[in-house]
Structure 1
């Protein structure tokens, strides 16, 4: 991974750093010059990301296990970052959990409520606990993850809770952008389509025809990769995007454009 200095001098927290989009962002932000603090519920995968960062010559530190639905754990994450680096400039809320089931099959507690906690509450808590330090930054950026499912339904995916959670992230982020305007806190969302990760390989490999339907919906005929999202996140976190806030950036191979 080529190093550059687009985020030099900035301190970033990346949640969900143990896998998928979170791991991609953590590694890419570190390569772009940021001091990165990762967090994940899975201490083993978080440590693997730390090892990968060390191998690329851009060490990161992480707090794991960290339950992002627990306010005390989130506060510990923010405190850990401030103890390590004395400031916080960027918050990347990549950590999430979602349960997938059709409406009539969705369990209220283990499916619906757990997904809203795992996709929406985790963003609220991280933003709330980080906010005082982001105000002090003077030039802070929050990158939240909505989804193509926050805009469009996707026929083969039983995503009612996921749609609700990510739709909430999209709306909440616009409100946060308004609340952050006086402190130069920029808040933007990225809306990915399906990204190939450990979590998404299960439906891609086990649901007949699922991969073909995903590719049929995209204009660019390949699956998205965490790096595709990481490049967009670096832009939104960088000073190059200093006049971008309250925006939603679709990174979806064109899938929501037709």
Structure 2
């Protein structure tokens, strides 16, 4: 089969939060592999700019993932007007940096609502279609904070740890229908938001740098390439995997 096994030609991907950062990197990689891509997000101006940069075969729909009651109609609209969803990338998520003792119940609930409950809702609705077609790839975006403890991100870390449990549970139900469920756990990936944050916190930057086995931060395309692999026939017998793309951070001492 050669490199054709990595091709996504003829497939349609839905990338939540696909207009910026890692989501944009994933969307670009999927398009370059031959897929058509629908990106969603809350800010139309960001989505318009992203689609303009991505070029043909990219589409956008304004959507707030936390409005779970709108998710069924979102999926129906995509399937009716654009095409059957072959690939779902659950990238949309929010962050909250605070010590545990300074994290309110509302802060914690807001993170869980976006990063876990909404992820389950859209996965369930996409899976209805995929299970009926007996084909599909679902990719969750996890985090280093879901693999080991990181201070000042208690709610975020819990939400990403729960993603592992969600992957495990769905594999037991979806695999017999040839619907695969995997997760990517990005390490520290260069973005304006990340770089600005670490520059304001030199001790944290040093700690992160020392944790990474390689000598540099990751790029958004590193996550995008992993998503292409997991979505492609090259990974047709891979399900239930949490794939760190982290320069060795999870194993480095």
Query: Equivalents in 2 of 1:219, 1:134: separation in Å?
Result: 38
| Contact 1:14–1:93 (Cα < 8 Å) also in 2 | yes
RMSD between aligned residues: 1.5
The correspondence of residues 159-238 of structure 1 with structure 2, limited to 5 A, is 159-238=153-232
| Contact 1:39–1:46 (Cα < 8 Å) also in 2 | yes
Gaps of 5+ in 2: none
Query: Equivalents in 2 of 1:101, 1:141: separation in Å?
Result: 34
Gaps of 5+ in 1: none
The correspondence of residues 8-47 of structure 1 with structure 2, limited to 5 A, is 8-47=9-48
Query: Given the alignment of the two structures, is residue 70 of structure 1 paired with residue 87 of structure 2, yes or no?
Result: no
What SS class does the counterpart of residue 182 from structure 2 fall into?
Answer: strand
Query: Segments of 4+ in structure 1 off by > 6 A?
Result: none
Query: Equivalents in 2 of 1:118, 1:201: separation in Å?
Result: 23
**Across the two proteins, how many residue pairs are aligned to each other?**
248
TM-score scaled by length of structure 1: 0.91
Query: Equivalents in 2 of 1:48, 1:72: separation in Å?
Result: 27
Structure 1 residues 70-91: Cα deviation after superposition (integer angstroms, max 9, x where no partner): 1233223212321233311110
Structure 1 residues 153-174: Cα deviation after superposition (integer angstroms, max 9, x where no partner): 23xx411111100000111111
Tell me the CA shift for residue 99 of structure 1. Answer: 1.1
Q: 1:150 to 1:143 in 2, by over 3 A?
A: same
Query: Equivalents in 1 of 2:72, 2:29: separation in Å?
Result: 25
What SS class does the counterpart of residue 181 from structure 2 fall into?
Answer: strand
Please name the residue that 1:141 is paired with.
Answer: 137
TM-score scaled by length of structure 2: 0.93
What SS class does the counterpart of residue 66 from structure 2 fall into?
Answer: coil
Tell me the CA shift for residue 224 of structure 1. Answer: 1.4
Structure 1 residues 152-208: Cα deviation after superposition (integer angstroms, max 9, x where no partner): 123xx4111111000001111111111101211000011111222243233222113
| Contact 1:91–1:142 (Cα < 8 Å) also in 2 | yes
| Contact 1:14–1:92 (Cα < 8 Å) also in 2 | yes
